[in-house]
Amino acid sequence: MIRSLEQSVASVSFDEQNNLVAGGWDGQIRKWNSDGDLLWSENLPDRITEIIFHKNQIILTSGLHIVNLNAETGQINWQHPLEGSADSAIVDDDEIYATSSVYDIEHNDFLESAIWKYSLEGEQKWVIKLNERPWFIMSHQSRVLVGLGRPMSGWAEILSEGEIINHQLETSSPIMCGTMTSNEVLLGHADGTISNLKTTENKLEQSVESLQATEKIRIASLEGGELVATDAGNKTIWAEPGAPISTQAIGFKTSKITTHWSTRWSGIEGNLEVRDLANGNLIAKSPIPQTRAIFSNDSRVVIGSDDGKIHVWEKDMFSRRNQSDSSKQSESSSQRDALKEKLRALRNK
* Total H helices, total E strands in the chain: 1, 32
Q: Is the pLDDT of residue 336 over 90?
A: no
Q: What is the pTM of this model?
A: 0.88
pLDDT at position 103 = 66
pLDDT at position 110 = 60
Q: Is the pLDDT of residue 330 over 90?
A: no
The 3-state DSSP class for residue 170 equals coil
- Range 13-38 average pLDDT: 96
**Interatomic CA distance for residues 197 and 167, integer angstroms:** 8
Q: Is the pLDDT of residue 303 over 80?
A: yes
Domain boundary assignment for the chain: 247-349
pLDDT at position 344 = 62
- Range 120-132 average pLDDT: 93
- Range 280-305 average pLDDT: 96
pLDDT at position 102 = 84
Contact 4, 30 (CB under 8 A): no
Residue 284 Cα to chain centre, angstroms: 20
pLDDT at position 142 = 86
Q: Is the pLDDT of residue 283 over 90?
A: yes
pLDDT at position 105 = 59
- Range 270-283 average pLDDT: 96
Contact 275, 283 (CB under 8 A): yes
Q: Is the pLDDT of residue 345 over 90?
A: no
The pLDDT tens digits for 105-118 are: 555 556 688 999 99
pLDDT-above-90 percentage for the chain:
77
The pLDDT tens digits for 139-188 are: 998 899 999 887 788 999 999 999 999 999 999 999 999 999 988 999 99
pLDDT at position 177 = 94
Q: Is the pLDDT of residue 319 over 90?
A: no
**Interatomic CA distance for residues 96 and 157, integer angstroms:** 15
The pLDDT tens digits for 169-178 are: 999 999 999 9
Q: Is 19 exposed, middle or buried (0-12, 13-18, 19+ CB in 10 A)?
A: middle
pLDDT at position 111 = 66
pLDDT at position 320 = 84
The 3-state DSSP class for residue 110 equals strand
The pLDDT tens digits for 196-241 are: 999 999 999 899 999 999 999 999 999 999 999 999 888 999 999 9
pLDDT at position 323 = 72
Least confident of 28-37, 260-269, 335-344: 335-344
Alpha-carbon separation of residue 170 from 13, 27, 132, 134, 200 (angstroms) = 35, 40, 18, 19, 7
Residue 29 Cα to chain centre, angstroms: 18
pLDDT at position 348 = 54
Query: What CATH code is assigned to 247-349?
Result: 2.40.10.480
Residue 216 Cα to chain centre, angstroms: 19
